[in-house]
Amino acid sequence: MMDIEEAKIQLIDLPGIILGASSGKGRGREILGAVRSADLILNLICYLPDGSIDFSHLTTIRKELYNAGMRLNEKPPRIQIKKTTRGGIGFTFNGHQIMDREEVKGILNEMGYSNASVYFSEPDITPDQLIDHIMGNRIYTKEFVVINKKDLEKKKIPDKEITKKIGHNHWVKISALNKENIDTLRHRIFKELNLIRVYLKPPQKEADMSDPIILHKGDDIKTLCLKLHKSFITNYRYSLVWGSSAKHPGQKFIQTSHKLEDGDIVSIYLKR
């Protein structure tokens, strides 16, 4: 357990994922099973003694994670499938699609569907996405790449080139040996997890700025109340909010649907 920007975050250091891990090689299934429960995957690659970065391990790791049913930096496809008693496979969609009805029908027939109504609510759904949706056991997880051994860097590689090699800009360079950029890594982990800190202010008292409640970006007052105790919902009267989510200091909210922001201070008033 590690304190990162006032949040207690559990970091699990797992053995390296090798080629064939998804088939059970090197206790791979056991390791990948632990990965499936993570909210964020930190993929670690390193500088080599010649000053280059070894991106090949990233390819291997991603392949094994994919074979184990994990989809990195993807969102579940917005697909609806409703079984019917007759009529074959009906297919409707929104936006441009790369599959036609016959292709969709072929996949569903192979997956055991003979009668169903299928709707794609977003464009360009791929066959793999449709299969993933039907399987229903895929894990959609965020990936963050940590490039270690920055102390071996001889010539700076442009950030654009690193981003292109990795495939996204969710990465940071560190040196565990020299403790370089460790604070930056901590901050990026906090941001990648979409966490926010909310501070409680008991009515008529000062806010407790030493012990924040950790929520996720997009959470509202109702989520905060449930985090404290379900009775806060039953007995809820109103809240006063100070911070970036409020139009003015101490804004009053009768409803619990108000979304909170990082650093907000909240007073919750309950029925007596």
Domain 195-270: homologous superfamily in CATH: Beta-grasp domain (3.10.20.30)
Distance CA 61, CA 74 (A): 16
Distance CA 4, CA 6 (A): 5
Domain extents for the chain?
Answer: 2-73+139-192, 79-135, 195-270
Domain 2-73+139-192: homologous superfamily in CATH: P-loop containing nucleotide triphosphate hydrolases (3.40.50.300)
Both tokens of residue 64? 């094994």
pLDDT at res. 36: 83
Residue 31's H or E segment, with its range, is helix 28-35
Contact 101, 128 (CB under 8 A): no
Distance CA 163, CA 176 (A): 21
Distance CA 11, CA 34 (A): 12
pLDDT at res. 61: 87
Distance CA 178, CA 132 (A): 43
Contact 163, 169 (CB under 8 A): yes
Cβ contacts of 193 within 8 Å, gap of 6 or more: 9, 39, 40, 142, 216
pLDDT at res. 30: 72
Distance CA 162, CA 164 (A): 5
Question: Could you write out the three-class secondary structure of 203-264?
Answer: CCCCCCCCCCEEEECCCEHHHHHHHHCCHHHHCEEEEEEECCCCCCCCEEECCCCCECCCCC
Whether 2-73+139-192 and 195-270 share one fold: the answer is no
pLDDT at res. 80: 96
Residues lower than pLDDT 50 in the chain: none
How confident is the model over 230-252, as pLDDT tens digits?
999 999 999 999 999 999 999 99
